[in-house]
Amino acid sequence: MFKSAQPRSNQIAPAGKEKIVLTQLSLAVAFITLAFSSCSTASSYRKLANSRITTVQMSNGDAIFAELKPGKYRTPESITEFTKKWYTLMLGWSGGETAVKVNGNLTIPANSYAAAQMMDTRLQKAFLTEFSQLIPSSIFAQDNQLKSSAKVRYVSDPMPLNGDTWAINVVADWILFDSATNSETKTVTFNKNITIKAAAIPAKPVVEEANSLQQLIESIRAYGLEIINLEEFEA
């Protein structure tokens, strides 16, 4: 007589169940990690696209990354530098300075004339009419040893007023120094609240043979900024 075969059990041992569960958990974790990585990569690409990064090739052949900005965007550093430049030029001159005629009958030093080009036409005329009255006429004599300078004590960070206009506060003194007597002859408080606006950046002129004053004015206009208002600032 043959013995009847016993049916095999389909049940899985506890240890086998644990292995299956662990395998399933590992697969789930791997899937979640892969999905998260894909989302992060996609997000990075979106940020890169939105930041409008482009490649610019320099004249020497080197390639650099640059971020595209609106045409009237100016960096805080350039606005601050522009402001300090205005002070340096407007108040920086010495005896024997080249005289420049403005507004018909006003005489100002060449450096002050260059600084005036950093202002819009309306403000320029009004400011120079008053400023020229403070300039000693003797400054244009060749043997004069009077020196003028700006002592800038504080410059605030540029404060945006809108997309193309900024306000900046400056605490400074205008100092007149006589080299003949080695003494300060006058100190004038020159604190200003200055409103600066983005301006068109002119193309580089075709004529290269410009005099030093013209070259200075061209370098100033390359900032793409102009002063549109000046007010007294109480420090």
How confident is the model at residue 184, as a pLDDT? 92
Q: Is residue 97 part of a domain?
A: yes
Q: CA triplet 71, 77, 79: central angle to 5 degrees? A: 65
Nearest to 191 by CA among 148, 147, 231, 133: 231
183 and 147 belong to one structural domain:
yes
pLDDT tens string 32-85: 555 445 555 555 545 545 556 777 666 677 777 666 777 799 999 999 999 999
Whole-Å CA distances, 18 to 22, 23, 24, 28: 6, 9, 10, 15
Predicted TM-score (pTM) of the model is 0.72
Q: Is residue 27 part of a domain?
A: yes
81 and 49 belong to one structural domain:
no
Q: Is residue 9 part of a domain?
A: no
Please give the tally of structural domains in the chain: 2
pLDDT tens string 1-26: 434 444 444 554 555 555 554 555 55
Q: Is residue 107 part of a domain?
A: yes
Q: Is residue 161 part of a domain?
A: yes
Query: What residues have CB less than 8 Å from 58, skipping those under 6 apart?
Result: 64
Distance CA 149, CA 135 (A): 12
pLDDT tens string 142-194: 888 999 999 999 999 999 999 899 999 999 999 999 998 999 999 999 999 99
How confident is the model at residue 128, as a pLDDT? 93
How confident is the model at residue 15, as a pLDDT? 53
How confident is the model at residue 46, as a pLDDT? 57
How confident is the model at residue 23, as a pLDDT? 57
Q: Is residue 4 part of a domain?
A: no
Q: Is residue 122 part of a domain?
A: yes
34 and 118 belong to one structural domain:
no
191 and 105 belong to one structural domain:
yes
The DSSP secondary-structure symbol of 119 reads B
How confident is the model at residue 3, as a pLDDT? 42
Beta-ladder partners of 55: 65
SS3 (DSSP) at 209: coil
Domain containing 31 equals 14-53+62-67
